[in-house]
Structure 1
């Protein structure tokens, strides 16, 4: 009498489960790393967007003679309609709402002003993810450092340990 076996034996099933478990342990860090790489790439894109917005703002300010002014009211006409639209900080974007608007940052990102003081050693803006805002505990953000005086350059620092 011929006997036809259908399906896996118990031993074959256990071996397949073990192989899949080993593969998942090996593959999981790769996928987690992709998530970190994606977040870092988003922060790099935000840096480029803010840098471009500041370059445009500075160009407009220079054309209007406002690149040496740390203004307290709107002093830069961004759309050439004769009305000042932006409050400038030596030709750079001074406030959070303006920075987010002119840089065109995605809704997944938040930008906040550092209120711990001023100076080249303290960040002017912090750009982070909305669901994980920048803090001393959260180590996934971009620090933007503005110069103390007119003509200085903007510098950026990525903090990506916990992305």
Structure 2
């Protein structure tokens, strides 16, 4: 069986029935089993896509190692490789955030702001399933960060 990357430190839960067209709704209990399963699947799919992309990049970089006689072409290729490696590093960090979100689901903390304890809006979680703060808390955090960065 091929390695999907899905079992790397992530515990699988019993299957929850989730219709294919399910979308979390504000009129149902917050972070009920269906919502948690919806976000778990969304995160796992995203994680798998990132890991597959990383494997393809590594294979491409290994295959792409060749001697290029033209200095300008070589510089261009090195720039492309450096950009690809930076992108993959950001994605590696994103996988770590996805893993943290999956752990929060397992621990019953997913969907709640780490600063205020308030529920994070379903729209925000759907757009950014790794969010750890409400939009308001995130904005306050970024304003404080900007003030300290300007010092």
Q: Shorter-chain TM-score: what band?
A: 0.3 to 0.5
Q: Select the structure that is richer in strand.
A: 1
Q: Quick one: higher RCO (CA 8 Å, sep 6+), 1 or 2?
A: 2
* Structure 1 length-normalised TM: 0.32
* Structure 2 length-normalised TM: 0.34
Q: Select the structure that is richer in helix.
A: 2
